[in-house]
Structure formats: structure tokens, C-alpha cells
Structure 1
């Protein structure tokens, strides 16, 4: 565990991800480069391995020019600085490659780890540029505009309060427009939300446009480009794979076999491939396609196609077909000159289920990197940590386990009474044996008496323990306060709190994170916002 002061107001320390108890065995074994997993990915994300990825990632001029053209269209209406304009144009160059992360269209960025994903991706592009100066690397945020799970993204949490947009709109969330529910939501948050957020929403036609604007405001000058895969020109590249999905179910067969191999190694699946991994999408509609007999049906609608009809529809309107989690990764790699994907632990794990599908369709498999993981501590909670003498690894221990050990260590009396219990047990055993010489049944009576006596002693032990806990209630409350800060609502801070929890007090937060994060260091970071705090 190492601590370094690397910024004006933050101190960083780190722990092994395994000690946090937040990650699956598959994820940890991947980070540990367990030999049995080597067949499930291409190159492990070490800086020296990217040279191999660059050599195998040739991307033809037609696809590059199409990508530039689409991005220029998608950024129309946004004032681009010199950096963003250069980044878009650079994608036409054979020596330019991308590194990518993806996420849903959360309101006001949603949980902190959305920010962590993007910061990690920007920093990876920078590290690659330093290591491979003959090439240019562009960080990309892939907007999940086609997602239809509105309940997952229609809120954010700040200081324990949930701010929610209630709407009855259906279909891909990127198309959602501002209704009465959104106006009420925006009115509620406008008292504290930074102006650039409000401007992004108020000046946009729909959710995808607003997210592009605020992400561009936050990270555009750091080189980040925002890509929306929901575009007919881009989806043309996916048509051959979508045909295979509809007609011969190759993605299902390949991903299922890969998943079974992981299962045989004892790992749990993250995703479950279907025979058809596509949704049919129109305005206000995104529903799964299923084949029933010879007919392709769009679930929960009256829409259906013959085989000839659905292929004709695919070729003439590819934008109406939306890939699910099985096909989205290969779609991304078809339209981007991509070298790496950065995601959370579940994302890294499910990409490992897809390598054989990439090989089958001759699409290069990118390096898989976990985005950086972190918890931010403010001065008040860090003071409580110091008062209790907690080490960094102690922060991830359950409060119950900590309390048990703490009370035992700090107790003014021996409430466990182990010596007394042993003495009492020995006494009953000895006297029972003596009494049995007079009458055999007396031994059973002494044994029953021993059980009752030990139970009474145990009850007294519990009473003394509770008295000790009462005496130590200030320290115990400090520990529960720390837990609530690290795990608000029972979930890790980075999966719950919004960036504004720290950004409103520290406007330079993103610059600090960019300085702190190292995308090739897979440790779990603890960031203290008071640079004067001493190391644990």
C-alpha cells in the first residue's frame, strides 16, 4: 500500500482490489493473468502490448471517412474548439486510433463511476501517445442512446436524496424529449446544478443531444469525442453480422460455447446470449425480435416479417435494428479504429464471453481494461478514520466484523468469560462423574445443569458486551458514519453518489482526477481531499 501526494488538494493511496470484496473471481483472475483465461482475450492491457494491437488494427479509408462524416454531422450545432475539431479530422488518418468507454445516458452524469470511466479513457489515450509517439490516440465515449431501460437512468442521487424524472415515454432513451415530468425535475435541481448542465438540457431537443453537450463541456478540451452508434450510415457496417444473427444464429452459438467454457472453469456468466440478439426500433419503440416458426415477430407489437421481409428491411433500414449487449461490442469495433475498451468489472467479464465471436467475424478484439476504481474521502470522514486508527484496508471490512473485534480489544472487562466457562464446565463434569458413582442418572442431571449454567453465563456475557458497546458508542458511531459515507445506501460510493457531491465544493475535481488516475494501475484508489492529512 503506497501513498503519494500528487495534487493541490488530494492525497492518493491504494489497496488491492481483492480486499474490497467488490469484485468477482473472474474479474480478479483476469487482472492476475490466470493462464486458463488467456484464450478468452487478445492482449493483456500492458503498455508494451499495444504495439501488437496497433499492427493488427488496420482500418480502411472508407470506414475512417464515414466515421469523420458522421461525427461532423453529430456535432453540428455545437461550438467546437480547436482540440475537438482536430480530434474528429484526425480519425481520417491511418495512424490514428481510438480507446473507448461506453455508458448509459444518466441524468447529470449519474453515479461517479461514469466520470471515472471517461477520465480513465482520456488518460489511456495520453499514456499511449507518450509511449507510441508515431501514432495519435483519441479517447471516445460511446453513448448508449438505444438503451430502453429508462428506470435505470431517470434519476441521480446527491447527498442521500434521489432526484428523478418521471415520464411515460417509451423506446430508446436517447430520443426522449422534455415533457412535464422533466420540467418539474429540472426545476427541482436548478437551485444547485451548475449552469452548463442546465444550458445543455435547455438548449437540446432530446436526451442524447443534452448528454453530448454536457460531456463535451466537461471533457471536450481534453480530447474526448462522443459517438452515437444510432446512425444509419454507421449501422450499414453491421449488416453482415446482423444477417448471421437473424438467419444462422452464429453469435448465439459462438458466445454460448465461450460462456460454457467459462462456466466449466467455475466462473459465473454476466450475459446470456439469445438466438436473436436484436431489437426492432422505431420512434417510441424498441422491442426484441423473436423467430416463431418461419416468422420473425417483434414482441409486444403486431409487427412481423417473413425471412425475405426482414432481410429486405435490414438492408433498406439498418437503423431500425438495435444490437443487444452481445452484439454491441462487435458493432463498436466495426466502426471505430479501436485498440481498447474500458469498462466496469461486469463489462470486462462479459467481453470475455465474446472473443470467439470476434474471431469468427474477423474483427480484432481490443485490449480490455477496467476503468479506475476510487472512493473519495472528505476531511470530516478522514478525521473519524484517524480517530479510530483505521488502516486503508480496514475501510472495506464489514462494520459488524470491525465492531466485534473493536469491542473485544477495548473492553474494560472480560465479557467473553471463556476461562470461567471452561472452569464451570469442568466443575459440572467432575461433580457429575462423582455423583454417577452413587446413581448413574445423576450424571445426566449434572450435564443438563451444566447446559443451563453455561446458557446463563452466555446471557450475562451478552449483557456485559452490550454495556461495553454502550460505553464505546461514540467510536462505534464514528465507524457507522464512515460506512455510510463509503457505502451510501449500502452500495459503494462510486456507484451511488453524483459528481456534484464533490464538484460543487471543488470545481477543479476533474483536473484532480485526471492527475490522479492511471488507467494501467488496477488498484483501488482512496482519495483524500485534504492534502495535509498524514498517511495511514
Structure 2
């Protein structure tokens, strides 16, 4: 593949908030610690403290999780060493990896770890994929798109999705679709639950690059987070701190991405993940009959911390508590909502990571590339509105002035001359002339549309090409990376992941255009 990079603000894909962060606008600096430049990692390494005890717990849990899945990772052992740090991305447990940008997040993270090792050879850098095993929004993860088809896993299971069993519906979906690669089949059909399946296939795809998959839903890891769980349920400080940061950001014109609650933990049990709220002197589990006194909750936190699941406010803090982490890589919404959390990190004395935009890319296959070339489109023009492009294309290529500008000018000259003439006869006739002008304008505009439609038929071949280009790059008006599954390209070229690895630069925040070299195996 051939790579071209363009400024992200040329694509229209990102919010002002996100672009302002990338371009290091002064008004956002109070909301983060260090901007992600390669030279700033020296300070981040020097200031990142992480207890050896935590390293032992982390490595032990990960080794056990991998062993239960029949896997090994040499990178896990590095986490015990005091000169080892992590760089992290996180994502839901989407079926068959879900949208393409999931792959982009991981490749960006791996490449960052490799770049840091070259720059700071005295240290180890382990790329981490944090599995959102405790998430309970199954509808967001139970499908993927390929070749215009949507494949769905139907299940009535409830609770944390990482604990979902590989049921008969999923097994049949896997068995009935021959295009699914063997490593996916093995991961899903030989695993006890969804969390293990995702661990297995992500390790197959990226384990050799040193990636470590972390499932934070573990008693020993959450025991390290007990003081924060107790504090949030009793003192409820995070809510006020995030509200304060959010208000400050909103005064700067930025919209909030997350909304804290008084208590930012769910109650987690088999088939259950529900909010914890305080009412009538008790801690109530929403949508259940479960309620506890503070004494009962406190004993539960100490004995079974795994029953407390952090929400979107507390999950980043939990991650940074149990990992020796330097940077988090995410999409626009993720980077933005982390900026709302800086004061929470400061309150709990937890190091705030560098926030890094993951790489954003668009893959242009051979057929689409050929159509783009035939129309003479630039990379920037690919991103413009299709209706606007069609209008401009017809106006530029038609032998006629489809807007009838010259004709309108001449008719207006005649009408203005007529107005002056009728003034000499009867001033009230000017109104009639103005009404006539309005009617004529409508007739001309209507006729202009007819000419445009006729020319669109004459240029139907070009318009059809643009429709095909738009469908390939913005299917259903969604950016390609948020719609297609990576199998769309991997099945055509098994070197697809390695090419991403070779071409992505996690410290270059421009938008990447990847054009096929024509070696795909599948049309």
C-alpha cells in the first residue's frame, strides 16, 4: 500500500475540541499533564511511580489469565521489572473485532511501544489492550459488517459481556460462514466465555508484536483499587470534580462527553451489572431488590472487591492504578472525556497519562483508486459532501451555464429598465414589475434544475463512479473505519496488518490515506 498523510481538519471528521487538542491550543493545557511528544516521555518516565508489589500482582494475574486460555506471553514477565512501562488502548469486545478502527488503535499502540524502545533503550515498553469485559451494552458489540452484510449474534444473556458464554447461536454463526478465518473459529469455539475468546484472537493477531491483553475484572487487581472504591461510595468526590472540569470546559465552548454520578460504580454479579445508588440511608442496586448498609458495603469491598465495577469516570483511574502506564491511545471522544478527569486523578494522587489520538486511516482499494483517478479527485475532495460535489462537477463540466447566470443578468437588466419606464406612467406599477420578476426567477430556477438533471444524465458515468467511491469510503454515510470489519481487507490481503504496522506513525496526528498497490487476492 501507498501512504499519504493529510491534515485532519481537511477531512471534516473531527470535533473542534479534538482538533484543538491536537494543535495544542492554550485553553486546553490545564486539562492534561504532558502533550504526547517523543521528548516529553523522558519526563513521564522519570515521574511515573509504580510499587513493586503492584507489579507482582499484575504480572501474576496476567500469567494466570493467559495460562487458563492456554497461552503464553514473554512481555508479561517484563512487567515485574522496575524499568518497564506500558502504553495502553482499550475497547469493547466486539464480534470478530468489530469496526476497523479497533485494529487501528492496537497497531498505533504497538508502534508507539516500539518507537519508545528505540528512543529510550534503557527501558522496556509493553503495549496493552485493555478489554472492556465489564461492559454490559451487548447491543453495541454483537455484530460486524462485511461485504454489505451485517452478521449478528443473538443472545439473551445479561451482565458483564466478558462473562457471556459462547452459546449455540454464536457457534452456529461461526460454523455457517466459511469465510471466517480458522483463528477466529478456534478462539470462539474453544473458549469458555467471550472474554477468553477475545484474548485468544487478539493474541493470535498481535501477540508476536509484544501486545498484552488485560482483563481488569479480577479480584486481586481490584483489591489494589479498594481505597478508591471506598472513597467514591462514601465521599462522592469524583462527581463534584468532574462537574467542575466539565463546567470549565463548557465555558470554553466544549461539550461534555461523559456525565458523572454521585456513585461511579456498578454492582457486578453473574448476569448482573447495575448502578449503585444511595437512598433512604442504604445503598440500593437499581432494578433489583438488593440493598446494603454502609457496614455491609464496606465488608463487601474488603472481601469481594470484584463485585464493584467502575463506570466511565472511574475506569480510567482504575486502569492507571494497576498499570505502570505512560500513555493512553484513543479516538476523539475518548481523548476528550479523559480531559474531564484530570482533577479526579489529582485528587487521588494518581499519575495522569499522556493522551494520544490513535491513527486514523482510510483504505482505498484498487477499483476505488481507479475511479478516483479517472475523476481527477484530490484526497481532500474525497471528503466533501456528495451532493455538493455533484453540483460542482456538473457546473464545471457542462457545456452550458446550468445556473443560467448570464440569462438572469440580462433579464434583470430588462426588468430594471422596465421599472424606470413605468415610474413615468404610474408609480404603483412598480409592484407589478417586482411580482413579475419573482415569477420569472422561479421559472428560470425551475428550468435551471431541468438543465442540471439533463446534464446529470449526460454525466451519469462520472456520477455513478462518485457514488461507488462514496459507498466504499463512507458506507451508509459513516466513515469507513467505523463501519467495515478488518476482514474486508484482511481476506483480500493477509499482509494487511503488517502493512498497517509498517505505515502507521503514532506520533503523527495527520489523517492517513492508504492506497492499494493492486495485489489483493479478492475483488
SS at the partner of 1:415?
Answer: coil
Per the TM alignment, residue 312 of structure 1 is displaced from its structure 2 partner at its CA by 1.5
Given that 2:107 and 2:500 are in contact with CA atoms closer than 8 Å, whether structure 1 keeps it comes out as: yes
SS at the partner of 1:279?
Answer: strand
For 2:374, the equivalent position in structure 1 comes to 387
Per the TM alignment, residue 255 of structure 1 is displaced from its structure 2 partner at its CA by 1.1
SS at the partner of 1:76?
Answer: helix
User: 1:313-462, aligned counterparts within 5 Å?
Assistant: 313-462=300-449
Partner deviation per Cα, 1:385-405 (whole Å, 9 max, x = no partner): 000000111111011111111
Aligned partner of 2:278 among 291, 294, 310: 291
Aligned partner of 1:124 among 112, 119, 132: 112
For 2:497, the equivalent position in structure 1 comes to 510
For 2:23, the equivalent position in structure 1 comes to 32
Given that 1:244 and 1:251 are in contact with CA atoms closer than 8 Å, whether structure 2 keeps it comes out as: no
For 2:79, the equivalent position in structure 1 comes to 91
Q: Distance in 2 between matches of 1:124 and 1:326?
A: 25
For 1:3, the equivalent position in structure 2 comes to none
For 1:52, the equivalent position in structure 2 comes to 43
Q: Distance in 2 between matches of 1:435 and 1:44?
A: 71
Given that 1:412 and 1:468 are in contact with CA atoms closer than 8 Å, whether structure 2 keeps it comes out as: no
Aligned partner of 1:159 among 147, 150, 158: 147
Q: Distance in 2 between matches of 1:438 and 1:390?
A: 57
User: 1:258-277, aligned counterparts within 5 Å?
Assistant: 258-277=245-264
Per the TM alignment, residue 429 of structure 1 is displaced from its structure 2 partner at its CA by 2.3
Per the TM alignment, residue 477 of structure 1 is displaced from its structure 2 partner at its CA by 1.1
For 2:123, the equivalent position in structure 1 comes to 135
Per the TM alignment, residue 455 of structure 1 is displaced from its structure 2 partner at its CA by 1.5
Q: Distance in 1 between matches of 2:175 and 2:82?
A: 47
Given that 1:16 and 1:524 are in contact with CA atoms closer than 8 Å, whether structure 2 keeps it comes out as: yes
1:282 aligns with 2:282: no
Per the TM alignment, residue 79 of structure 1 is displaced from its structure 2 partner at its CA by 4.7
Given that 1:11 and 1:531 are in contact with CA atoms closer than 8 Å, whether structure 2 keeps it comes out as: no
Given that 2:217 and 2:306 are in contact with CA atoms closer than 8 Å, whether structure 1 keeps it comes out as: yes
For 2:477, the equivalent position in structure 1 comes to 490
Q: Distance in 2 between matches of 1:281 and 1:304?
A: 13
Given that 1:425 and 1:454 are in contact with CA atoms closer than 8 Å, whether structure 2 keeps it comes out as: no
Aligned partner of 1:223 among 195, 210, 220: 210
1:210 aligns with 2:197: yes
Aligned partner of 2:102 among 92, 98, 114: 114
Unaligned runs of 5+ in 1: 1-9
SS at the partner of 2:352?
Answer: coil
Given that 1:65 and 1:92 are in contact with CA atoms closer than 8 Å, whether structure 2 keeps it comes out as: yes
1:43 aligns with 2:34: yes
Per the TM alignment, residue 449 of structure 1 is displaced from its structure 2 partner at its CA by 1.5
For 2:162, the equivalent position in structure 1 comes to 174
Given that 1:113 and 1:494 are in contact with CA atoms closer than 8 Å, whether structure 2 keeps it comes out as: yes
SS at the partner of 2:67?
Answer: coil
Per the TM alignment, residue 329 of structure 1 is displaced from its structure 2 partner at its CA by 0.3
TM-score, L = length of structure 2: 0.98
Q: Distance in 1 between matches of 2:301 and 2:325?
A: 25
Q: CA RMSD in A?
A: 1.2
Per the TM alignment, residue 78 of structure 1 is displaced from its structure 2 partner at its CA by 4.2
Unaligned runs of 5+ in 2: none
Partner deviation per Cα, 1:106-125 (whole Å, 9 max, x = no partner): 11111111111110000000
1:186 aligns with 2:177: no
Q: Distance in 2 between matches of 1:188 and 1:257?
A: 52
The count of aligned residue pairs is: 519
1:523 aligns with 2:510: yes
For 1:68, the equivalent position in structure 2 comes to 59
Given that 1:148 and 1:170 are in contact with CA atoms closer than 8 Å, whether structure 2 keeps it comes out as: yes
Given that 2:266 and 2:308 are in contact with CA atoms closer than 8 Å, whether structure 1 keeps it comes out as: yes
SS at the partner of 1:339?
Answer: strand
